[in-house]
């Protein structure tokens, strides 16, 4: 690890840059301040988002590790950078919901904040051209995005992540409304990857129900930076 070198850029996404390293199995991730919404239609900058998301993500991945949920996180190396294991990405986003919000509230006309009797798992096809459409297990099969076994494993890991994060965040006075996960294959196993941050989760203050996540940017609610900083302080800063 000490001699790990950052090599050429492999990929630049909406929120992160990914670099090769001199270790075949490891990637170098740099978190950016860029923010997009609605499949890139809305663009902006959230000052220091890259720092907060790197710190929050690293912290939550470590929490999952301690709870025997393996993931790609290896080590945080600076305010904006972390080292992760290289995964063969499965092009499916897995969403877990505890309360109605966002696209589910719209699609099914369920008031935001309505709680469910059990978590709801959804899948989206990672495709910029198609704007990440909602898909089901049959669609995943015909498109050959993942095998039935892989879908089962992603669902099972996602529900475990939900239990661990929900309980942990409760202690920090945060309601875990919903979140999105991404997975890939690592040495023949399905492994959790990407990030877990206010960009990819809905976090509400337990008392006031104030939104402490990217919805403040998506919906022009103001106080965006402050919300990311608040999550950081509650999770990592104490």
Residue closer to ligand ASP, measured from CB, 186 or 202: 202
DSSP output for 44-100: EE-TTHHHHHHHHHHHHHHHHHHTT--BSEEEE-SSSEEEEE--EEEEEEEEEEEE-
Among 49, 186, 214, 216, binds ligand ASP (CB under 6 A): 214
Select from 140, 26, 135 the least CA-distant residue to 82. Answer: 26
Residue 3 CA to residue 60 CA, distance in Å, equals 26
Residues 160-179 that bind ligand TMP (CB under 6 A): 178-179
- x/- track of binding to ligand TMP for residues 190-209 (CB under 6 A): ----------xxx-------
Contact indicator for 172, 205 with CB cutoff of 8 Å:
no
CB of 10 to ligand ASP, least distance (A): 19
Count of residues of this chain found to bind ligand ASP when the rule CB under 6 A is applied = 8
Is residue 39 part of the contact set for ligand ASP (CB under 6 A)?
A: yes
Encoded one letter per residue, x for contact with ligand ASP by CB under 6 A and - for no contact, window 1-20 reads -------------x------
* 3-state SS, residue 199: coil
42 touches 34 (CB < 8 A): no
Residue with Cβ nearer ligand ASP (49 or 186): 49
Nearer to ligand ASP, 40 or 133 (CB): 40
Among 17, 20, 30, 37, which residue interacts with ligand ASP (rule: CB under 6 A)? 37
């Amino acid at each position: 690890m000490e001699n790990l070198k950052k090599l050429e850029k492999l990929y630049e996404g909406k929120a992160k840059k990914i670099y090769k390293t001199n270790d075949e199995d490891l990637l170098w991730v740099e978190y950016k301040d860029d923010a997009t919404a609605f499949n890139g239609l809305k663009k902006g900058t959230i000052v220091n988002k890259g720092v907060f998301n790197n710190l929050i993500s690293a912290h939550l991945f470590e929490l999952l590790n301690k709870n025997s949920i393996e993931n790609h996180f290896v080590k945080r190396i600076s305010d904006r950078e972390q080292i992760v294991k290289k995964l063969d990405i499965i092009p499916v986003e897995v969403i877990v919901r505890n309360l109605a919000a966002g696209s589910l509230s719209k699609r099914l006309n369920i008031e935001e904040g309505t709680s469910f009797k059990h978590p709801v798992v959804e899948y989206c096809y990672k495709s910029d051209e198609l704007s990440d459409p909602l898909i089901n297990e049959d669609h995943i099969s015909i498109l050959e995005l993942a095998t039935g076994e892989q879908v089962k494993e992603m669902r099972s890991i996602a529900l475990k992540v939900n239990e661990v994060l929900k309980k942990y965040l409760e202690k920090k006075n945060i309601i875990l409304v919903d979140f999105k996960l991404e997975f890939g294959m690592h040495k023949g196993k399905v492994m959790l990857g990407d990030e877990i941050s206010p960009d990819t989760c809905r976090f509400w203050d337990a008392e006031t129900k104030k939104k402490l996540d990217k919805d403040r940017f998506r919906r022009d609610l103001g106080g965006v930076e402050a919300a990311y900083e608040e999550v950081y302080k509650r999770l990592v800063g104490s």
